[in-house]
Structure 1
Amino acid sequence: MVKITINDNVTKLKEKSKSKNTQDKYEGDWLKFIDYCKNKYKCNPLEVDDLDSAYALTANYMDWLHEDPEAKILKGSSNIPGREKLNNNPYSSTAYKASTIQRILASITYKYRLNNFQFDRKNPNIAETISAIVRNEKNHKSGQAKEILKADIEKIINFINDDSEDYSTFRDKALILIGFYSFCRRSELLGMKYEHLHFGDDGIQVLIPFSKTDQTGEGRMIFLPTTNDSFCPVKALKNWLE
């Protein structure tokens, strides 16, 4: 029987299927996982004997991230740029939340599959560990941040208005109001360019060319209406541009 494996070029193409930001997050998560495996088990996660060992390593890592008081790995080590040492301890004292652990699991799953492991995040060891982490967090959750309301935005804008009317003031007001009324992510706001703006009598149409949920770059249009109050995103944007 002949075994065929994908070549290096296909591997590179698979990596490019993700955005640069996503690739960077996956790479950072994976390097931290390697760091954990080397420190805890003296092994490389890609050099385990079988898939069950990969599942066990990953499940143990998920549990450690959530439960261990030393679980939040500081960025970097000898192979991770920007690492800082805290009293010569490469770990800080705050465990990860369930949502972050699920993202880290996605990174680990992606990297294993990229290296020809038939890694399935629905494996019972993985799925049950994640389910327990989510349930445990729900049972202990308190003081969750409240949704920001228009009244909160108005307070922020009023506070900014008390400052000097310089370029940064106009910029901050525009970004805050556009972000609130458009429900745009930070990366989407940063990706906006003047040519994406189409001004009309009743507002602005804005092209969002690329976003986290639009990996193929098809783009989407949003509309920001002109309002008659001092918290109008359209007026704020025009003031900034002028």
Structure 2
Amino acid sequence: MAVPGAVGLDGPLAGRVGDYARASRSAATWRAYDADLRHFRSWCEGRPVPLVAVPASAVTVAGYITELADAGYAPSTIRRRLAAISVAHQLAHAENPTGSAEVSAVWNGIRRSRGVRPARKAALDTTLLSRVVSGLDDSQLADVRDRALLLVGFAGCLRRSELVGLDTADLVETDDGLVVTVRRSKTDQESAGAQVGLAYGSYRPTCPVRAWRGWVAAAAAAGTPSA
């Protein structure tokens, strides 16, 4: 899927315009949109009377998502396909069929008849966390690291992507504990950043601050970077 261009600009500037346009969504999102749009184009071309994918009519898109639903596609997948079709029409400066009354009615019907309640995972609680970290061996550097990751992540309510994105400089010790700087998260696409304070835990084995200090000291002693 082509991102917005910059007709009339010189080569380097046009390239930078394209770079920023691509940065408006993640690379994974663009790849998913490309795959979804290829599927839609293939469906259009495979009809007894081939249909135009871009610009598509509202009836074409309504028929497409109807067949997706009948084939057992999850509502989340159909929603993403609609998003890809919408973006493709926006980039082509074409009338967007996904917002039409026909498509909206079919999509709402799919959600009502085929929507499923998302399966919720059991949250990790302090009892289970204590059991997990109690099995770690403080004589093993990897276990010391894993203890710090688990406890800092749990105490800071950090997502996996936020946790693995931390550098040593992002954790600063204070008199009260740690200040963790989360530079970017799933809900912070503009990288404004956020700071999370972690206090000392009342139970030493599950204290995130002590676990972090232990990892920094162990990594230094082993000559291993702690970041």
TM superposition score normalised by structure 2 = 0.70
Paired residue for 1:161?
Answer: 134
What runs of 5+ residues in structure 2 fail to find an aligned partner?
218-227
Any idea what SS the aligned residue of 1:198 has?
A: strand
Match of 1:150 among 125, 136, 148: 125
Cα distance between partner residues in 2 of 1:106 and 1:50: 14
Amino acid of the residue matched to residue 126 of structure 1? V
The offset of 1:120, in angstroms, is: 5.8
Among 164, 167, 175, the alignment partner of 1:193 is: 167
| Percent identity over paired residues | 23
Measured at CA, do residues 35 and 107 of structure 1 come closer, stay the same or move farther in structure 2, by a change above 3 Å?
closer
1:108 counterpart SS class: helix
2:99 counterpart SS class = coil
Counterparts of 1:58-207 in structure 2, within 5 Å, are: 58-69=61-72, 95-96=73-74, 98-119=75-96, 121-138=98-115, 140-141=116-117, 144-151=119-126, 154-165=127-138, 166-207=140-181
Say if 1:200 and 1:122 are closer, same or farther in 2 by CA, change over 3 A.
same
Please say if residues 181 and 193 of structure 2, whose CA atoms lie closer than 8 Å, have aligned partners that are also in contact: yes
Higher-Rg member (1/2) = 2
Taking the aligned partners of 2:142 and 2:64, their CA distance within structure 1 comes to 44
Distance (whole Å) between structure 2 residues aligned to residue 32 and residue 49 of structure 1:
12
| 1:241 to 2:222 alignment | no
User: Which among 26, 31, 43 is matched to residue 27 of structure 1?
Assistant: 31
List per-residue Cα deviations over 1:19-70 (Å, max 9, x = no partner).
5xx23223223223313431x3327xxx9276443x444444444444414x
- Contact preservation (8 Å) 1:121, 1:127: yes
2:85 alignment partner, SS class: helix
CA contact (8 A) 1:30 1:111 kept: no
Q: Which residue of 2 aligns with 1:224?
A: 198
Q: Could you say what secondary structure the match of 2:112 adopts?
A: helix
2:101, 2:152 → 1: CA distance?
44
Which letter maps to 1:158? R
* Mapped pair 1:41 → 2:44: yes
User: Equivalents in 1 of 2:123, 2:53: separation in Å?
Assistant: 49
Please say if residues 44 and 52 of structure 2, whose CA atoms lie closer than 8 Å, have aligned partners that are also in contact. Answer: no
Partner of 1:112, secondary structure, is: helix
Q: What SS class does the counterpart of residue 221 from structure 1 fall into? A: strand
RMSD value over aligned CA atoms? 3.2
The 8 Å contact of residues 41 and 53 in structure 2, kept in 1 or not, is answered as: no
CA contact (8 A) 2:184 2:193 kept: yes
Query: What is the number of equivalent residue pairs in this alignment?
Result: 201
Residue identity matched to 2:189: Q
**Unmatched tracts of structure 1, length 5 or more:** 70-94
Tell whether the 8 Å contact from 1:205 to 1:221 is kept in structure 2 after alignment: yes
Is the 8 Å Cα contact of residues 33 and 61 (structure 1) preserved in structure 2? no
- Please tell me the residue identity of whatever aligns with 2:158: C
Q: Deviations over 1:48-95 (max 9, x none)?
A: 276443x444444444444414xxxxxxxxxxxxxxxxxxxxxxxxx3
Does the residue aligned with 1:207 lie in a helix, a strand or coil? strand
Inter-CA distance 108–232: structure 2 relative to 1 (3 Å threshold): farther
2-structure distance, mates of 1:107, 1:164:
48
1:116 offset after TM fit, Å?
2.5
In structure 1, C-alpha distance between the alignment counterparts of 2:77 and 2:133, rounded to whole Å: 33
Separation of aligned partners in 2, 1:236 and 1:66: 49
